[in-house]
């Protein structure tokens, strides 16, 4: 059940920050701002740089007014996800144990990460499988300081994949979300309102990055197929591996549909290309809630973040 509390959703790409204002019923406004330098560089610097961008956003978007609560959707490349198998533990024990379980597999020490998790399933031997999320503490501190300096109140930080999966919440059949950006593509499989798998793949291709950042890119299906064959081969291979991984773990469920988003989703024929390779219905992801403004796919992570905790 949704409440009437206003909540803002914030998402980052490497060059932009996007803000969505949700009044508890509908999307009231969307804003975007250019980052003064790539996010990967900014996040290691002074939080006041972030605060300056956010203050500018607040000044330009009058609908924000005095509303402060914000949920941040971080790119999947910033958040590590792992499936952990652990004995039954209470919440406090889990959060104390998980960083030590994760540090052997991540480029972070236990005391350098913030962790959250949820239970995926119970195994026959009594153990539990958890989907664990870890993020660099330094990044979180930078975000929190920047948000607070701009008079925002951080309510949650999550991943883009969870934000995007939330837009199809309640879908009775398993579905795959694919967020295609200029540098990365991330994908996740959702079933029973739980994200079961989350992977990402680099999309490092100068031409692709240029194409994606065009306001209205034009390209034929044949050009798309031939010019970006290597890129899409890696993408579709990764998607198929992700789907297989899920279906191997699920006895009865198969992925029924694919929802694409991200700045790459507006590249013409991408849906057709993926449909052809994956043999699954492919659609542009979109929120089921009302919007008062025109939105493009680049705002979807921020919209999903704005809906955090509202179901």
Residues that bind other proteins (CB under 8 A): 74, 79, 95, 114-118, 131, 133-135, 137, 140-141, 144, 154-159, 162, 165-166, 169, 193-195, 308-309, 311
> Considering beta carbons, is residue 162 or 231 the nearer one to other proteins?
162
> Considering beta carbons, is residue 268 or 309 the nearer one to other proteins?
309
At its nearest, how many Å lie between other proteins and the CB of residue 137? 8
Radius of gyration of the chain from Cα atoms? 19
Read off φ and ψ for residue 198, nearest 5 degrees: -145, 120
At its nearest, how many Å lie between other proteins and the CB of residue 184? 18
- Answer whether 160's CB lies under 8 Å from 180's CB: no
At its nearest, how many Å lie between other proteins and the CB of residue 276? 30
> Considering beta carbons, is residue 192 or 229 the nearer one to other proteins?
192
> Considering beta carbons, is residue 188 or 258 the nearer one to other proteins?
188
- Answer whether 131's CB lies under 8 Å from 194's CB: yes
At its nearest, how many Å lie between other proteins and the CB of residue 174? 14
At its nearest, how many Å lie between other proteins and the CB of residue 166? 5
> Considering beta carbons, is residue 85 or 138 the nearer one to other proteins?
138
- Answer whether 214's CB lies under 8 Å from 264's CB: no
At its nearest, how many Å lie between other proteins and the CB of residue 217? 32
Cα-Cα-Cα-Cα torsion 24, 19, 177, 280, nearest 10 degrees, comes to 90
> Considering beta carbons, is residue 140 or 278 the nearer one to other proteins?
140
At its nearest, how many Å lie between other proteins and the CB of residue 239? 21
- Answer whether 92's CB lies under 8 Å from 29's CB: no
> Considering beta carbons, is residue 115 or 176 the nearer one to other proteins?
115
């Amino acid at each position: 059940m949704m409440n009437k509390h206003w909540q803002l959703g914030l998402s980052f790409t490497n060059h932009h920050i996007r803000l969505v204002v949700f009044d508890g019923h509908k999307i009231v406004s969307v804003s975007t701002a250019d980052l003064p330098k790539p996010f990967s560089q900014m996040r290691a610097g002074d939080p006041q740089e972030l605060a300056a961008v956010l203050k500018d956003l607040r000044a330009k978007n009058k609908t924000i007014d005095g509303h402060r609560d914000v949920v941040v959707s971080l790119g999947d490349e910033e958040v590590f996800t792992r499936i952990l198998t652990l004995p039954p533990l209470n919440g406090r024990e889990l959060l104390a144990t998980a960083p030590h379980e994760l540090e052997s597999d991540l480029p972070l020490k236990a005391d350098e990460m913030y962790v959250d998790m949820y239970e995926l399933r119970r195994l026959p031997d009594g153990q539990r499988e958890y989907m664990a999320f870890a993020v660099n503490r330094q990044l979180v501190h930078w975000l929190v300081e920047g948000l607070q300096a701009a008079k925002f109140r951080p309510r949650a930080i999550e991943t883009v994949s969870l934000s995007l999966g939330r837009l199809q919440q309640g879908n009775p059949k398993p579905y795959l979300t694919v967020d295609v950006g200029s540098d990365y593509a991330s994908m996740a499989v959702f079933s029973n309102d739980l994200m079961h798998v989350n992977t990402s793949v680099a999309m490092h291709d100068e031409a692709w990055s240029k194409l994606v950042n065009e306001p209205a890119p034009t390209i034929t299906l044949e050009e798309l197929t031939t010019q970006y064959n290597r890129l899409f081969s890696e993408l579709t291979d990764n998607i198929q591996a992700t789907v297989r991984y899920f279906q191997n773990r699920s006895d009865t469920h198969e992925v029924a549909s694919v929802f694409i988003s991200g700045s790459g989703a507006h590249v013409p024929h991408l849906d057709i290309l993926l449909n052809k390779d994956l043999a699954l219905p492919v659609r542009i992801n979109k929120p089921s809630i009302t919007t008062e403004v025109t939105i493009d796919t680049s705002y979807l992570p921020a919209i999903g973040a704005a809906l955090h905790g509202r179901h």
